[in-house]
Amino acid sequence: MEVLVQKFGGTSVQTAENRIHVINHIKDGIDSNYKIVVVVSALGRKPDPYATDTLLDLVSFPAHYNSNRELDLLMSCGEIISSVLLTNDLKRHNISSIALTGAQAGFVTSDDFTKAKIKQVHPERIQHEFETHDVIVITGFQGGTKRGEITTIGRGGSDTTAAAIGASLEAERIEIFTDVSGIMTADPRVVAQARSLDIVTYDEICNLAYQGAKVVHPRAVEIAMQARIPMRVRSTYSMAPGTLVTLSKMRESNINDSRQLMTGIAHMSEITQIRVEMKDEAHDHQSSVFKAMAEAGISVDFINISPTSVVYTIPHTLTDKAIHILESMDYNPGITRHCAKVSAVGAGMAGVPGVASKIVGALTNKGVQILQSADSHTTIWVLIHDKDLKVAVNALHDVFGLGYEFNHGQE
Ligand code: ADP
Ligand code: MG
């Protein structure tokens, strides 16, 4: 029995019309003799009536009450609705199918409500259902604790559900269906010239995803990579194969992508930059700042340390909390709100000289101020003002020739 996992995002299952495309992909899998696990997200995006954020707007628990358990119960309904609607459609197409919640499908999680960790996946129930059904529709983004509490695993969690069930069932392939043609050289909402990639490595997409390319959740990529299961990111609305995510580009294909320096540009906004001037040169002052941030659960990024100051970034939503902590430590932090991080990712750039200067040149040419930068052998990050985001991402996309026109010129 070969199993295929097909995950459909919120817009893909939103309307009966869209679900016709979903059914076509499922039928295609059945016709190729697969048993199919379908993972669904909640219908649409806010303000659509059953989207996760719309459900959350229904309640406003008092601030002193820890409502996470109830929020998980509420949020889990979105995917349950989707799973039933899709099963209804499948039955009407005479496809034998059954809907299961995450807990019913064997997902055991920790009890960290709203951000639970998948502890185990017990595939027995699904394997049993495959004796009588071709398709098992399971709710993404959720599971249950050993005690039977319903939990959710964090935003983008349906991708992780798909990867985890794929690993547990040793699936042939995990397919992530969404509203774009595949993994692209940049977010097509920001870069009109963005091009769909035929093949990327797990490392590259994981890196892009951690840097903000939310087309697939990085945790899902890690799980697929560890289990060595190929992943495809594809459009729901076409039969095109989309992007293959695999271990090595060379082995799987003779496409000369690997000669390219850069794979893609990712971005992330809503970041605050914090600068703390040290009162004297005692070395433990610097570490005390980061210790205080860690204790408050504030994740820091873009750290630059000098003898006289520390500079770092945090998510915008935690700005007031961080200021409060630093002031209580007698610091007077410099705050720059509304920053964005742009990352140029490419395994091909390791050791290639001149990449950083190309980036700096492209940005300064367009009048984009660089607030901070950092690099590793596969990624260069720059911090800029949010208002410059679109110009900056497009400038980097152009300077590395990632768009369509460049590639036609190369052929
Ligand atoms: P779904 O609901 O199907 O999970 P998401 O909104 O989570 O959909 O992810 C798809 C979106 O990711 C696309 O509509 C696109 O705007 C965005 N995106 C960001 N970066 C990229 C990228 N590099 N390639 C493709 N899409 C991207
Ligand atoms: Mg998604």
According to DSSP H, which parts of 147-298 are helical?
Answer: 157-168, 202-210, 218-227, 249-252, 284-295
The pLDDT score that the predictor gives to residue 255 is 47
List the pLDDT tens digit at each of the 411 positions of the chain: 899 999 999 999 999 999 999 999 999 999 999 999 999 999 999 999 999 999 999 999 998 999 999 999 999 999 999 999 999 999 999 999 999 999 999 999 999 999 999 999 999 999 999 999 999 999 999 999 999 999 999 999 999 999 999 999 999 999 999 999 999 999 999 999 999 999 999 999 999 999 999 999 999 999 999 999 999 999 999 999 999 999 987 644 444 444 478 999 999 999 999 999 987 766 677 889 999 999 999 999 999 998 889 999 999 999 999 999 999 999 999 999 999 999 999 988 888 888 989 999 999 999 999 999 999 989 999 999 999 999 999 999 999 999 975 444 443
pLDDT in the model for residue 122:
98
Q: In the chain, what's the furthest Cα-to-Cα distance?
A: 74
Distance 43 CA to ligand 1 centre (A): 16
Q: How far is the CA of 114 from the centre of ligand 1 (A)?
A: 22
Contact assessment for residue 204 and residue 263, using Cβ atoms and an 8 Å cutoff: yes
The pLDDT of residue 282: 66
SS3 of residue 82 by DSSP? helix
Query: Is the C-beta atom of 264 inside 6 A of ligand 1?
Result: yes
Q: How far is the CA of 176 from the centre of ligand 2 (A)?
A: 9
User: Bridge-partner residues for 274, per DSSP?
Assistant: 312, 335
Cα–ligand 2 centroid distance for 44 (angstroms): 11
The per-residue pLDDT for 283 is: 67
Question: What confidence score (pLDDT) does residue 348 get?
Answer: 82
User: Ligand 2 center to residue 181 CA distance, Å?
Assistant: 14
pLDDT of residue 252: 46
Instruction: Output the pLDDT for position 286.
Output: 83
CATH pick for 264-408 out of 3.10.310.40, 2.60.40.10, 3.30.2130.10, 2.60.120.10: 3.30.2130.10
Q: What is the pLDDT of residue 250?
A: 63
Task: Select the CATH number that applies to the domain covering 3-253 from these four: 1.10.10.60, 3.30.420.80, 3.40.1160.10, 1.10.1200.10.
Answer: 3.40.1160.10
Q: What is the pLDDT of residue 224?
A: 97
Contact 101, 161 (CB under 8 A): no
pTM of the entire predicted model: 0.92
Q: What is the pLDDT, as a whole number, of residue 280?
A: 73
Each domain of the chain, given as residue ranges in start order, spans: 3-253, 264-408
In ligand 1, which atom is closest to the CA atom of 45? Answer: 2
Mutate to test the pocket of ligand 1, among 6, 18, 45, 178 (most ligand atoms within 8 A of CB): 178
Residue with CA nearest ligand 1 atom 5: 215
Q: How far is CA 408 from the centre of its chain?
A: 30
Phi-psi region of 314 (alpha: psi -120 to 50; beta: other; left: phi over 0): beta
- Please tell me if the CB atom of residue 196 comes closer than 6 angstroms to any atom of ligand 1: no
- The pLDDT assigned to 405 comes to 57
- Say yes or no: CB of residue 102 within 6 Å of ligand 1: no
The rounded distance, in Å, linking the Cα atoms of 288 and 145 is 36
Question: For residue 347, what pLDDT is reported?
Answer: 82
CA–centroid distance, 224 to ligand 1, in Å, is 19
CA distances from 265 to 14, 53, 83, 260, 261 (A): 29, 28, 34, 13, 12
Q: Is the CB of 243 under 6 A from ligand 1?
A: no
Which atom of ligand 1 sits closest to the CA of residue 185? 23
Q: Which pLDDT score, from 0 to 100, does residue 397 have?
A: 96
